[in-house]
Amino acid sequence: MKGFSKLAIVFILTMVNGEWSMAQPFTHADTLRGSNGPGRDWWDVLKYDLHVKFNLEDSTISGWNTIYFKVLKEGGLMQIDLQEPLILDSVSVNNTGYEINKKFQQFQKDRNVYFINMPYFKKLSKSYYPFIKIFYHGKPKIAKKAPWDGGLIWKKDREKSPWVSIACQGLGASVWYPCKDYQGDEPDSAEIHITIPDSLVCVGNGRFRGKATDNNGSATYDWAVTNPINNYNIIPYIGKYVHFSEIYKGELGNLDMDYWVLDSNLTKAKEQFKDAPKMMKAFEYWFGPYPFYKDGYKLVDAPHLGMEHQSAIGYGNGYRNGYKGTDRSASGWGLKFDFIIVHESGHEWFGNNITTKDIADMWVHESFTNYSETLFTEYYYGKEAATAYITGLRKIIKNDTPIIAPYGVNREGSGDMYDKGANMIHTIRQVINNDGLFRKILRGLNKTFYHQTVTGKQIQQYINKQSRINFDKVFQQYLTTIQIPVLEYKLDGYKLQFRYSNCIKDFNLPLKINFKGTRWIKPTQQWQTLSVYPEGDSNFSVDSNFYINTKKVE
């Protein structure tokens, strides 16, 4: 296969404790999965039209995906991702009778990737939109600990009825359907046609288009998404579902808020899901209009903890406040709301509206969404409560590996992207020192990058530009190292000496301190002296809203 080497191994350097060190080797397969290579870069996905039959008796699936795409430049080798043990059967091009199958050796398999040789497309104009229809079948990988490991989930509810869904963030949507499994290329729309036993209900993303039954006891549920959607967000939920709904009067008018729950959970859901319109009110205030009015908003009972499946949020928090009934912050405020409703819905703005091209930049999704919990708390309970919540999360931070992972190999960074990333954003907010401007930046991010895929650098540069403060060193410190800056200080009557240690070169985070009153300082790695005369209270502390450590030295 031209342009690819099966033997290629890339070694990635990462910064640990301020020094570069050799990390694990990455393989040819990692590069194929995580990069926009020559089998991907010449075409842009426009639409998925997905048809899948779920065979509950033997946990197999079968069907096809029609991929409509735009030709960006001359190309002929198309990379289609489909994870083993699923099997690609054949490909039909434009319904013209041009068939690609194994018999004619017109596609080649490389583990979880199929390269389809399509010289037919080499001379197509950029204004021509072809499509391919990919047929497949098999028994897909089963998730062992969804949503953390990913795969299909074949369970039964309390009434022993089938309860089936999928969680595949990170692992990739190709675990259950053939696609261009690259986060930087979202289909502009999608149709989902799921065939299941007629005794069950299928809930999908977007709007319900109808149900068709046949003579063998099966039914096909049709759902459609009219907005761009990431591959891993396209998810069916199959079970004994019932439905209730309400209209939320939001910034862009009436928003349909639908709730699909197991019939045994209906009474509990009608009470617990009152947090959903509360969430919507707070987040439209902070982030701007809900990004998917055309597709509506749904909460769906899920056979796992929860996931941010666009316009069909997976809910599995047991109808309890907090995170499975606990307060992650240990402040008390985390029990005032349902963590999964608030957190996973926050991803509709950061993760679904704004999506990173590479999962190495997943901090954009998780840091802002984790901080949305703090903003929800602040909206309803005030700043003091919000401060207690965000600072309480610091005890969970591990500082094990950098938050930003190597690019181009489908790797996420440390789980610290949640709590540490949120505390970084909270620290940046303190330096901006203007809540009106901070809110404008959050809303501006969602407006400027509306329905787009981005890099982490774009987000950083936007914040720098809008705040007129260069936070490059701050982002570098908290996202690419595991060092938490230390402010060393000495006290001598009316004199305060201070400097930064345990940080990158030229780290320049300003700090609000308490020393003979409240004031700002701009520490560097060189000792500085602040003299405040006459003497008064010589106690010293850094405002707790800043995520740093302090050390008194003699």
* Residues 30-57: tens digit of each pLDDT: 999 999 999 999 999 999 999 999 999 9
The pLDDT of residue 19 is 37
Q: What is the pLDDT of residues 365-399, one digit of tens each?
A: 999 999 999 999 999 999 999 999 999 999 999 99
| Cβ contact 511:47 at 8 Å | no
Q: What is the pLDDT of residue 127?
A: 60
Q: Which residue has the tokens 């989902």?
A: 192
pLDDT for position 533: 82
Question: Would 31-315 and 486-552 be classified into the same CATH topology?
Answer: yes
Burial 405-418 (b: 16+ CB within 10 A, else e): bbbbbbbbbbbbbb
For the entire predicted model, the pTM comes to 0.93
pLDDT in tens, 166-194: 999 999 999 999 999 999 999 999 999 99
The arithmetic mean of pLDDT across residues 305-324, rounded, is: 98
Three-class secondary structure of residue 294 per DSSP: coil
Average pLDDT over residues 202-230: 96
Q: Pick from 449, 59, 112, 432: which is nearest to 291 by CA?
A: 449
Q: What is the pLDDT of residue 80?
A: 97
Q: Taking the domain 346-480, which CATH number applies?
A: 1.10.390.10
| pLDDT tens figures, 459-501 | 999 999 999 999 999 999 999 999 999 999 999 888 999 999 9
Query: Pairing between strand 486-492 and 518-521?
Result: unpaired
Q: What 3-state class would DSSP assign to 506?
A: coil
What is the structure's pLDDT at 532? 86
Collapsed DSSP state (helix, strand, coil) of residue 542: strand
The domain segmentation of the chain, as residue ranges, is 31-315, 346-480, 486-552
| Amino acid at the residue 120 | Y
Fold assignment, 31-315: Immunoglobulin-like (2.60.40)
CATH class, range 486-552: mainly beta
Instruction: Provide long-range contacts, Cβ within 8 A and 24+ apart, for 501-506.
Output: 501/525, 501/551, 502/549, 503/477, 504/18, 504/473, 504/476, 504/477, 506/473
CA distance from start to end of the chain: 66
Mean confidence (pLDDT) of the chain: 91
Weakest-pLDDT range from 98-107, 327-336, 459-468, 469-478: 98-107
Cα angle at 227 between 450 and 151, to 5 degrees?
105
The confidence score (pLDDT) of residue 9 equals: 34
Burial 336-356 (b: 16+ CB within 10 A, else e): bbbbbbbbbbbbbbbbbbbbb
Give me the mean pLDDT over the 321-332 stretch: 98
